[in-house]
Amino acid sequence: MTTTNPRIAVCDDYERAALAGADWSAIRERADVVVFEQPFGSAERTIDALRDFDAVCLMRERTPFPATVIDALPGLKFIVFTGERNAAVDHEAAARRGIPVSCTPGGPSKASTAELTWALLLAAMKRVVPADGGTRAGHWRLDSQGRRYALPANLEGQRLGLLGLGQIGARVARVGRAFGMDVVAWSQNLDDARAAEVGVRRVPKQELFETSAAVSLHLVLSARTRGIVGAADLARMRPDAVIVNTSRSGLMDERALAAALAAGRPGWAALDVFDTEPIPIGHPLLALPTVTISPHLGYVNAQVFSAFHHGIVEALAAWLDGAPIRLVNAR
């Protein structure tokens, strides 16, 4: 009797790092592994690409996996995603189908995101990107088009406003204090005790937007926080202020942000997350010289990816053995 090896799809390997990041030899002896390096771009393309696979490995939330996708893949038997939480997978739909969903260790991703927050904030406030582009183009202290840009600003003595004071927000706060900044925070659940624990002050949301030289978003995206930063909040910001988002694009109205930047309040944005990823060519934010952009790099580093890829291999081995681990849904 001939048996067919299970087929495993490794999705979203934009960095071409999955197979090099762990030892897949034991998995490849028992299954056929196919790696997808480019985004699918739509639910229809996702379904077409994954129709014949038994197991799917997802990198964070790069590929949405709603019920419509899960139900259109009749051969799907297992899902594993990297990290410990994934709002892009419909866990209930998988459970209804009897499909186990596993996660991996998160690695030092919170530290990585906090560090990228500061990389973007500093790049924006110190005008690193226009200065770099101008220098390469032969325009000393002008941008790449030979245009003047706003002078860099000091951080010391300025106010840093944080929306959210969880593990990442607290890390960002500590660095802000080390720079000599006046760090304040707001969230719907924040109280004075938590703020004092981190060494910052709780202030009303309106005051935070009106007075901060830099505002950084560190909230979990949920029904309650979606769109929590809107046009009115942005209009309150100082014309020299920077807004940073390394959390989730859904926290802020992307169209309102583009309009606000064009109007001059705030003066700059530093963004790692977008409504559509990869961000489409021709997007209004790409046309603005006052936007510093990175391609969702918050969790992208060698240590985090090592934890992710080793975790995927462990989860696949356990599933192939009939005893999946780190389950996040009830089958």
The catalytic residues are 248, 277, 296
Q: Report residue 103: phi and psi, to 5°.
A: -120, 180
- C-alpha 68: how far from its chain's center? 24
Contact 326, 81 (CB under 8 A): no
Orientation angle between helical segments 109-125 and 167-178, nearest 10 degrees: 40
Cis peptide before 239 (omega within 30 of 0): no
Q: How far apart are CA 44 and CA 213, in angstroms?
A: 43
Which residue from 232, 240, 187 is spatially nearest to 211, judged by alpha carbons?
240
- C-alpha 204: how far from its chain's center? 26
Contact 272, 301 (CB under 8 A): no
Listing DSSP states for 194-251 in one string gives: HHHHHT-EE--HHHHHHH-SEEEE-----TTTTT-B-HHHHHHS-TT-EEEE-S-GGG
Q: Report residue 216: phi and psi, to 5°.
A: -130, 135
For residue 136, what is the DSSP state?
H
State the DSSP H helix or E strand holding residue 55, giving kind and residue range, or none if neither.
strand 55-58
Give me 49's structure tokens. 């690409």
Which residue from 128, 142, 143 is spatially nearest to 242, judged by alpha carbons?
128
Which residue from 264, 289, 292 is spatially nearest to 145, judged by alpha carbons?
289
Q: Is 190 helix (H, G, I), strand (E, B) or coil?
A: coil
Give me 197's structure tokens. 């624990």
Q: What pairing do the DSSP bridges indicate for beta strands 78-81 and 101-102?
A: parallel
